[in-house]
Amino acid sequence: MLSVIVFSALAVIALASGIAVFRVDSMARATYALAVSFVAVGVMLLMFDLDYIGVITILMMVMEMAIMAIYMIMFMGMNPALMPMSMVHNKRWSAILAVGTFLLLAGGALLIPWAARTGSPAADLTASLGEAIMGSKMLVMLTVSPILFATIVAALVLANPRGRYDRWGDELNRPTPDDPQQGGLGR
């Protein structure tokens, strides 16, 4: 009974802060609200004995939201809390679609006769996860690793304002680099 109460409270916090993300005027507050939602879900994962996944979710998302707050402040160029303005489109249809999707998913959750639980969790869930990704599920890690590496490269290429083609020309054959300020390393 206590777990139901705690879980329900966490769910309300996660949902309320999720709604607050799109209701508050300040971008920083929106980011913090999202961080609160993630922390609440992370604690829910801890209630499922998912210690490792729960902790990395909380740590990763809090750091991610800190970075996101910087981006919001950097790109918005003004404080919406001081200059409230509507930055939404298709509000009505978005709401209709979201409510319709919720009714569909909630209906499915309530009406589907879910199977009974088979098996029981391992004594040490973190160790069993480690054994799985280093054993029978190694292909998942082998796939995820290059994807993450490709993401790092792609993100750097997209975010980099000046690459070597900007400096040395399309054929990379310019005798001197086209830099705003001369100097630095040559070829």
Partner 1 sequence: MTLQLVLIAAAALFCVGLYGALSQQVVVMVMMGLELMLNGVILAVAAFWWFLTPVPDGQVLLLVVITAMTVEMAMGFAVATLLHRSRGSDMTDSATDLAG
The neighbour count for residue 31, using CB atoms within 10 Å, is 22
What is the footprint of partner 1 within residues 48-67 (CB under 8 A)? 48-50, 52-53, 56-57, 60, 64, 67
Contact map string, positions 4 to 43, toward partner 1, x by CB under 8 A: x--xx--x--xx--xx-xx----x--xx--x--xx--x--
Q: Which secondary-structure segment (H or E) carries 25?
A: none
Interface with partner 1, residue 134, by CB under 8 A: no
Interface with partner 1, residue 89, by CB under 8 A: yes
Which of 137, 165, 174, 179: binder of partner 1 (CB under 8 A)?
137
Which of 102, 165, 169, 178: binder of partner 1 (CB under 8 A)?
102
What is the footprint of partner 1 within residues 65-84 (CB under 8 A)? 67-68, 71-72, 75-76
Spatial contact of 32 and 70, defined as CB atoms under 8 Å apart: no
Count of positions on this chain that bind partner 1 (CB under 8 A): 80
| Burial class for 177, CB neighbours closer than 10 Å (0-12, 13-18, 19+) | middle
CA separation for the pair 88, 30 (Å, rounded): 15
- Classified as helix, coil or strand, 74 is helix
